[in-house]
Amino acid sequence: MPFIGLAFFIQLGFAIHVIKTGREIYWIYIIMFLPGIGAGLYFFTQVLPEIGQSRTVHSAKNSLIKAIDPKRELRQRKAQLKLANTLENKLKLAEECLQAGLYEDAIELFQESLTGIGEGDPDTLLKLAQAYFANQDYQKSLQTLDQLIEINPQYNSTDGHLLYARSLEELGRKEKALEEYKVVAETFPGEEARVRYALLLQDQEQFAQAKALLKQVIERSKLAPKFYQKKEKHWINKAKKLLQQMEI
């Protein structure tokens, strides 16, 4: 008996799904008058494909594949470039090399992508600067960002601005880095820029300013929606830990 009741609620749920999603009304008759078979048919032909197209499911599937075979995407990108040597395929392979830690390969591919129709492209220049930074070539990262702004003065990227500040910091130009962090901390969409700014303030023994900034990060996070708290969890926790250490 409990099984019959459960089957009825499954049928009812699928019937409601038919109405809500605007599917053909005949599905209700199939579901309700072919117990078990009708619901199964509806699930496998209508619901399952819809789930498969979900962004969340697609992302989870890609993450699982990457965990099992981390080089799979890299091999596919290389094969695609070999098959069709296009700018799009070159950029995709360069991005995959950057993600895989093959920084020199990424740099070479991004540089090649900046010739011909891709010359001066700001997004590619930013990616090249990121690849230089990841490869610990901070001077070239800085030079590439300067080149980006020189060619594209109207281009605006908070990621690029943060990278500029970080490159200055790595090169030991702390005062200039503080100036850049101060500006980007006001506009950066996440908490990373503010926490990095606080860390450099602490390094320069500007403790009062560092504490005030960290408290701001923590208070902002309390008022932020759940999805933001989840996305910024790493930097929020880092701010809390750093503030706790400074107040001991």
Report d(CA 47, CA 60) in Å as an integer. Answer: 18
Report d(CA 86, CA 92) in Å as an integer. Answer: 10
Report d(CA 106, CA 133) in Å as an integer. Answer: 12
| Contact call for residues 246 and 202 (beta carbons, < 8 A) | yes
Instruction: Determine the residue type at 196.
Output: R
| Contact call for residues 185 and 197 (beta carbons, < 8 A) | yes
Q: What local confidence, expressed as pLDDT, does residue 84 receive?
A: 86
Q: What local confidence, expressed as pLDDT, does residue 15 receive?
A: 81
Using the structure block, give the residue that is written with the tokens 């130009």: 173
Q: What local confidence, expressed as pLDDT, does residue 142 receive?
A: 98
What is the pLDDT tens value at each position of the chain, 248 positions in all? 454 556 677 777 778 888 877 778 778 878 787 777 777 777 777 777 666 554 554 454 455 445 555 567 778 888 888 888 899 999 999 999 999 899 999 999 999 999 999 999 999 999 999 999 999 999 999 999 999 999 999 999 999 999 999 999 999 999 999 999 999 999 999 999 999 999 999 999 999 999 999 999 999 999 999 999 999 999 999 999 999 998 76
Q: What local confidence, expressed as pLDDT, does residue 77 receive?
A: 82
**Domain 71-155 in CATH: superfamily?**
Tetratricopeptide repeat domain (1.25.40.10)
Q: What local confidence, expressed as pLDDT, does residue 37 receive?
A: 77
